[in-house]
A and B are shown apart, each in its own frame.
Chain A
Amino acid sequence: MDAQVLGVSIDHIPCLEAWAESLGGINYPLMSDFWPHGKVAQMYGVFREPEGKSERAIFVIDKRGYIRYIDIHDIDHQPDNDVVLEVLRRVDPEAALRSPAPPPINPEDIRLPHGGVVMYCTRWCPGCRRARAWFQANHIDYTEVDIDVTPGSADQVKKWANGTRTTPTFDIEGTILVGFDEKKVGEAIKEKITK
């Protein structure tokens, strides 16, 4: 799609480097808006003054340098990549022709695991990391589904989680729990599995 992603936050470079490494490397630039503090965020009207950090916002800028889309997103939720891809296709139909969208997934081809404890997660989500540690500490077997990778899994989570890609989300023998609450997960496991 002839597009370049540029990330920016108020973190300073060593912090961004450490974070990128913890995620297994990020191949697009993460820019540091640290000094002067939040200057670029202010230029773009997305600096949250009292907290000293920026909004979670996406700007799509076309090839001539014009802003074509602005999403000042709910700061607690991850924006949907599919939405941004759609915007890019609309903004640059020529590039869209050169990189056609993948065919929609045939619902019959979607194979999501069922049975036991299934955790829908991502590589980077801190809640998922806590859940993994908790499962290990309690010797609980579980199956992971990476919603960034497994076809149909992100849509499944959106159906369960009010249209958002909230992780971790659990499917414990049919009991769906959105977000990691030790108590609730423990109870569901006791009820559905270890009985």
Chain B
Amino acid sequence: MKLYVGQAAPDFTLPSHLDKDIKLSDYLGKNVVLVFFPMAWTPI
């Protein structure tokens, strides 16, 4: 699904390497920089 500037960011919950699940909407009130990277062990 292609997204555009101005749209609401779809919410999600994913596990993280810091031993806790991350829910995007928990960060409302903060600016979020969501970085997708193709694979570990490559430049981030």
Contact = CB atoms under 8 A, between A and B. Distances in A.
Interface of A: 1-11, 13, 15-20, 22, 26, 29-33, 39-46, 48, 51, 53-70, 75, 77-78, 84, 88, 91-92, 95, 122, 124-126
A32 B30 contact: no
Contacts of A42: 1
Given A44-B3, A45-B3, A67-B9, A4 B32 contact: yes
A4 B36 contact: no
Contacts of A33: 14
Residue from the set B6, B16, B33 with the largest chain A CB neighbour count within 10 Å:
B33
Contacts of A18: 40
A54 B14 contact: no
Q: How would you classify the secondary structure of chain A's contact residues: helix, strand, loop or mixed?
A: mixed
Interface of B: 1-12, 14-18, 20, 22, 24-25, 27-44
Given A59-B9, A65-B25, A19 B31 contact: no
B44 A126 contact: no
A67 B15 contact: no
A39 to B, nearest CB: 8
B16 A56 contact: no
8 contacts: A6-B24, A43-B10, A56-B37, A58-B34, A60-B31, A61-B34, A63-B28, A63-B29
B40 to A, nearest CB: 4
A124 B22 contact: no
Nearest 9 pairs between A and B by C-beta?
A29-B16, A19-B40, A31-B14, A45-B2, A3-B31, A16-B17, A61-B32, A78-B43, A59-B34
